[in-house]
Chains A and B, each alone.
Chain A
């Protein structure tokens, strides 16, 4: 009962009021509980009921009907509405194909030893990369998944889960085959392989990825991960060896690609056959044992997919990474605490270094990225090296900026530290900057032409180009980590065929890449490197939070307030303002 209605309720005694209304204490009315209605029939207790057999196919069809019946738009409607997106995709696709054909022509014309070894080995490395990535993604997600709702409502029912899940497994396998084939073929084309070679590598990547996904599914049914983990490391190691061999041949440390070159024509075949065998064998086994996958394991992958979809919907890649990092930490659970060191900002820097020592796997990508400028140079694309290497360095530095990410995404933790935003960000940049500096030292020979077969820069210029590339990668990573997600509280913008979008959503896609481009493009155009250095300096100044608009507005407002207060005081004659001195 509300206060108002309580005030209006008649006095239970019904007598006259004896106290004036302003001092009367409200008397709570006596509320008679409503009688509970007698049940018409006793509740049904379902103990001795023999259930009817359930048709899983019927359930699946029912779900499909619900989903289709409640969809507000069909695929064709979406394509019609998103004609701008379709047009853009077609245009970008055409540009990509044109670029591939041109690059393929240019690279295949190169006949130096380094170009030939790159042509032989880069498809190896990319194939291994695709396979390792397939294993990683399969292990993280499932690969067989169910949503939380399905896990609760459907998987608990007395049904054969396999009959509902097998379709998903098949879809995942087909998806893995198609995506890997496209990627494998693209890399082979870009590295100058013949068209027959491109088809061979594409088939190998597709079948290999499909086979490994089937294996991961089979391992999921056994609730094991060590097999996929070991295989992932082994495949990754072969890829790394291939990349290192590219550098070794280009720098003259090795005469040719050796074993890799000798087995060139067989490796794609071996992967294709092994992939096909795995796809059929492990796939059949996985389908036969789908019932054995634990519900928690199915739902866990489903929740991850949902989280990723949410982040993807906002085009927030940083959030996607946060979800994976959180999941990784959750899997680890416990660490051996280490002692801190120093006080003030030094304590922050020290802890950041400790984090990286604790999770050294964050350095793997950085170590791998050292090979990129050498490989790019070996392919004869040394001019593009600042841009390509800068972008790769961006992705390698992001894992090292974990502290900055946490201190940027919400204000709560940053507010606990007695430092300005600029101080915190600078401190969080120290360890990644040292890592970037070591990277610059390691790749300077590549810019000087050592290990690429073509010397095109003096050592002084090479170190400057490497330094600018390092700066571009570092600052791009800082931008990527600190950029704010789209703000759904602000008015939406009309984006033609894309519909309404919050401001900043498109910018979110290119965050980080924009800084790398701004800093490294002057080198590509052959302009003075000072332009790059100045752009990098301005970017650093902005990214470290020195130009916090909110703070600047607050400071300006405060100055204005003080000025107005002084004026008011002066006009009231309380304070005599001395005449200005000449």
Chain B
């Protein structure tokens, strides 16, 4: 695949410390369309911290992050349009059903065929039977599927996922691996942290061991 002039994600000298304890120091990364980067490493190595900085949930102490050439500002609509995330801070409306969450996101992103897109994703994440349920009543695995669906139902250029395999059953992990592989092959850039060897093996084009 021919590479674009601007990387989808460019991280330069990213550093983050909690107090005097440095978690990430001078981290550099360039991700192009069609790349899938897997961050691996032990618990506490700094994978989630890097991802939280990449999506703007945490502020890095120093360094720059650019998404499609735009300097990262969490509330910048251009960044929000290009970036889909599934990290640990996703919240749900307690009084909107599963299908209504997806419908709202698809419409907010101006998807012309919102209903069709929602139906497809609902089938894919196997939440059709739960489409009318309120999020509080879903099992933890179903909530994870809904979180993934919120990333798949909307247009995106970069997908950032923090341990997306969490709480998924074996079939779910396999489905996710194939889905992410298809996304990557279609030209989407992916950055994910994972402890699941199968997911890393199928999806990643490059693996970075954090804290090694």
Interface residues of A, Cβ cutoff 8 Å to B: 325-326, 328-330, 332-345, 347-348, 351, 354-355, 358-359, 402-403, 406, 409-413, 415-421, 423, 545, 548, 550-551, 554-555, 558, 561
Q: Which of A338, A359, A413 contacts B91 (CB 8 A)?
A: A413
B82: nearest residue on chain A (CB-CB)? A418
Could you jot down 9 A-B contacts, CB within 8 Å? Answer: A329-B135, A334-B137, A355-B95, A359-B95, A415-B83, A418-B80, A421-B75, A423-B77, A551-B73
Cα A283 to Cα B150 in complex, Å, equals 50
Determine if A410 and B132 form an interchain contact, defined as CB atoms under 8 angstroms apart.
no
| Contact across chains for B134 and A412 when beta carbons are under 8 A apart | no
Q: Please report which residues of chain B, range 125-148, place their CB below 8 angstroms from some CB of chain A when the two chains form the complex.
A: 131-137
Known: A329-B134, A334-B134, A351-B100. A417 touches B108 (CB 8 A): yes
- Given A326-B136, A406-B91, A415-B56: A347 and B75 interface contact (C-beta under 8 Å): no
Residue in contact with B132 in the complex, picked from A337, A348, A351, A421, CB distance below 8 Å: A337
Least Cβ–Cβ distance between A297 and chain B, in angstroms: 18
Interface of chain A: mostly helix, strand, loop or mixed: helix
Residues of A within 8 A of B84 (CB): 416
Cα of A338 to Cα of B107 in the assembled complex, Å: 14
Q: A336-B132, A347-B108 are in contact. Are A550 and B93 (CB under 8 A)?
A: no
A340 touching B71 in the complex, CB below 8 Å, given contacts A330-B134, A409-B91, A411-B57: no
Are A343 and B110 closer than 8 Å at their CB atoms? Answer: yes
Q: Does B11 contact A (CB under 8 A)?
A: no
The count of A-to-B residue pairs whose CB atoms sit within 8 angstroms is 136
B13 interfacial by beta-carbon distance below 8 Å: no
Best-buried of B73, B91, B92, B109 by chain A (most CB within 10 Å):
B91
Interface size on B, residues (CB 8 A): 47
- Taking a contact as CB atoms closer than 8 A, the residue among B92, B110, B133 that contacts A333 in the complex is B133
What residues of chain B lie closer than 8 Å to A409, measured between beta carbons? 91
State how many angstroms separate the Cβ of A213 from the closest Cβ of chain B: 28
The answer to whether A420 and B75 touch (CB under 8 A), given A340-B104, A406-B92, is: yes
Assess the A348–B104 pair: CB atoms within 8 A.
Answer: yes
A351-B104 contact given A337-B97, A420-B75, CB 8 Å threshold: yes
B40 close to A (CB within 8 Å) = no
In the bound complex, CA of A427 to CA of B99 (Å): 21
Min CB gap B26→A, angstroms: 18
Q: Which residues of B contact A333 (CB under 8 A)?
A: 133-134, 136-137
Partner of B133, one of A326, A334, A338, A358: A334
Q: For B68, list chain A residues within 8 Å (CB).
A: none
In the assembled complex, the Cα of A402 lies from the Cα of B87 at a distance in Å of 23
Counting CB contacts under 8 A, is B184 at the interface? no
Closest CB-CB distance, B92 to chain A, in whole Å? Answer: 7
Which residues of A are found within 8 Å of B107, using beta-carbon distances?
340-344, 347
Query: Out of A332, A334, A548, which one reaches B75, CB within 8 Å?
Result: A548
- Nearest chain-B residue to A553 (Cβ)? B59
Answer whether A340 and B100 are a contact pair too, CB < 8 Å, given A347-B108, A409-B91.
yes
Write the chain A residue with the least CB distance to B105.
A416
Known: A326-B136, A410-B89. A343 touches B74 (CB 8 A): no
Per CB-CB distance, the 7 closest pairs between chain A and chain B, nearest first, are A347-B107, A412-B90, A412-B89, A329-B94, A418-B81, A340-B103, A330-B136
Cross-chain contact of B104 among A329, A347, A550 (Cβ < 8 A): A347
Q: Which residues of A contact B80 (CB under 8 A)?
A: 415-419
Task: Say whether, besides A348-B104, A420-B77, A332 and B71 are in contact (CB < 8 Å).
Answer: no
Known: A337-B99, A551-B73. A343 touches B108 (CB 8 A): yes
User: Of residues B59, B137, B154, which shows the largest number of chain A Cβ atoms within 10 Å of its Cβ?
Assistant: B137
Measured between beta carbons, the chain B residues less than 8 angstroms from A340 are 100, 103-104, 107, 114
Contacts A355-B95, A358-B95; is A344 near B85 (CB within 8 Å)? no
A421→B111 CA distance, assembly (Å) = 21
B189 part of interface (Cβ distance < 8 Å): no
Please tell me if the beta carbons of B134 and A555 are within 8 angstroms of each other in the complex. no
Residues of A within 8 A of B75 (CB): 420-421, 545, 548, 551
In the docked arrangement, what's the CA distance between A402 and B93, Å? Answer: 8
A392–chain B nearest beta-carbon distance, Å: 24
A418 CA / B89 CA spacing, docked (Å): 17
Q: What CA separation (Å) do A328 and B87 show in the bound complex?
A: 26
Question: By the criterion CB–CB under 8 Å, are A355 and B108 in contact?
Answer: no
Cα–Cα, bound, A340→B134 (Å): 16
Q: Inside 8 A of A358's CB, which chain B residues have their CB?
A: 95
